[in-house]
Structure 1
Amino acid sequence: MTDFKTVEASVINISELMQPSHSNFGGKIHGGYILNLMDQIAFACASKHSETYCVTASVDTVDFLNPIDIGELVTMKASINFVGHTSMVVGIRVESENIRTGKVKHCNSSYFTMVAKDDHGNSVNVPGLILNDKNEVKRFLKAIKRTQTKRMRKSEFDKASFSYENYMEELKQHNVKIELPDKY
């Protein structure tokens, strides 16, 4: 295994024409189908970088920005944004193109955390990452910040002292009505 690899060494691009069988009841391409394709490209990108089998550990920030229509060409671009010891964050950009007009829409960006595994299912070390431009450095730093934010949120919610009572004022700012039984 190589000690370090460039981001470019494991970039993956796929394109697929969206068909009626991929649509939901609203006539747009089903989000679950897009997520499935994203998981496949994340696996390919992470496996290419790590030179081994990888599994999906988590998916962050899945925002569907624009709907995808039947007949549009969907292109997904994946690259390694961050590496840890055994894990990698794969950044994925999803665009759709109307093949008649050439209009391109940004539909989704997401981050898949993938873990490298050996043949026995044990986590294995992955190559480090060589960052060659400012965008790659920014993506790496953003991945660190997302991880820190996730850890802080988990720490807050996992504390034994976490209680909904501490958030009653915040809850009042939302469209919610709380009707708990007295024994709660």
Structure 2
Amino acid sequence: MEKKPCIDSLVVKNSHVLPTDTNNHGTLFGGQLMAYIDDVAAIAATRHARATVVTASTDSVDFLYPVNAGDAICLEAFVTWTRNTSMEVFVKAVKEELLTGKRAVCATAFITMVAVDDTNTPQEVPTVYPETDEEHWLHSGAAARAQHRKERRGVSKEFANRFGTDFPWKRD
């Protein structure tokens, strides 16, 4: 499989934040921002793999600045690292106050996507390679982030096994 540069998967999406996208404080719903993040990550991963992808994990999403009704939000995403069938996608969200031009990074996240075939079996993806200083910086920390995700997934499985599908705290 031919290697691909990070830039080949770049996705840029702009949206105008409308009142229907906001909560009672007039700021963008966190869940809406997370949906935007997942959407651009999926497009970036699909561009890289040229295959159907599924979300395997989302690292923490920290909301750094509120995004208000009337603002624009710009999301940028690209594949930063690959393994056999998975891709780490970096997503940056920038809010812009349209009337003043003031901009701020309001969130960043790493999403892990897996390429799958028609039977939802994971399939191999091309290796990605960095070119810019920023891409090299993201790429160099990816293995450690992947190890952290693996450990976190183990803890999640432990919770799932311990609590199961019943409500153990429910009394008859």
Do Structure 1 and Structure 2 share a fold, with TM-score over 0.5? yes
**1:79 corresponds to 2:78:** yes
For 2:152 and 2:17, locate their aligned partners in 1 and report how far apart those are by CA, in whole Å: 37
Which stretches in structure 2 are left out of the alignment for 5+ residues? 159-172
**1:62 corresponds to 2:50:** no
Letter in 2 for 1:77: E
2:136 aligns to what? 137
Deviation, structure 1 residue 145 = 1.2
1:181 aligns to what? none
For 1:30 and 1:152, locate their aligned partners in 2 and report how far apart those are by CA, in whole Å: 29
What value does the CA root-mean-square deviation take over the aligned residues?
A: 1.8
- Please give the per-residue CA displacement for 1:38-60, whole angstroms capped at 9, x wherever unaligned: 11101100000000110000000
For 2:94 and 2:2, locate their aligned partners in 1 and report how far apart those are by CA, in whole Å: 33
Describe the shift of the 1:157–1:87 C-alpha distance in structure 2 as closer, same or farther (beyond 3 A): closer
Deviation, structure 1 residue 154 = 5.8
Displaced runs of 4+ in structure 1, greater than 3 A? Answer: 150-159
For 1:51 and 1:153, locate their aligned partners in 2 and report how far apart those are by CA, in whole Å: 28
Deviation, structure 1 residue 10 = 0.8
Rg comparison, structure with higher value = 1
Given that residues 80 and 130 in structure 2 are in contact (C-alpha distance below 8 angstroms), is that contact kept between their aligned partners in structure 1?
no
For 2:142 and 2:122, locate their aligned partners in 1 and report how far apart those are by CA, in whole Å: 20
Letter in 2 for 1:128: T
1:182 aligns to what? none
Describe the shift of the 1:26–1:129 C-alpha distance in structure 2 as closer, same or farther (beyond 3 A): same
Given that residues 13 and 75 in structure 2 are in contact (C-alpha distance below 8 angstroms), is that contact kept between their aligned partners in structure 1?
yes
Letter in 2 for 1:59: T
Percent identical residues: 28
Describe the shift of the 1:13–1:157 C-alpha distance in structure 2 as closer, same or farther (beyond 3 A): closer
2:7 aligns to what? 8
2:95 aligns to what? 96
1:113 aligns to what? 112
For 2:151 and 2:29, locate their aligned partners in 1 and report how far apart those are by CA, in whole Å: 33
Report the number of matched residues.
Answer: 158
Describe the shift of the 1:80–1:22 C-alpha distance in structure 2 as closer, same or farther (beyond 3 A): same
Deviation, structure 1 residue 121 = 0.7
Describe the shift of the 1:156–1:15 C-alpha distance in structure 2 as closer, same or farther (beyond 3 A): closer
Give the TM-score of the pair, scaled to structure 2: 0.86
Letter in 1 for 2:6: V
1:30 aligns to what? 29
Letter in 1 for 2:47: K
For 1:154 and 1:5, locate their aligned partners in 2 and report how far apart those are by CA, in whole Å: 28
For 1:90 and 1:152, locate their aligned partners in 2 and report how far apart those are by CA, in whole Å: 19
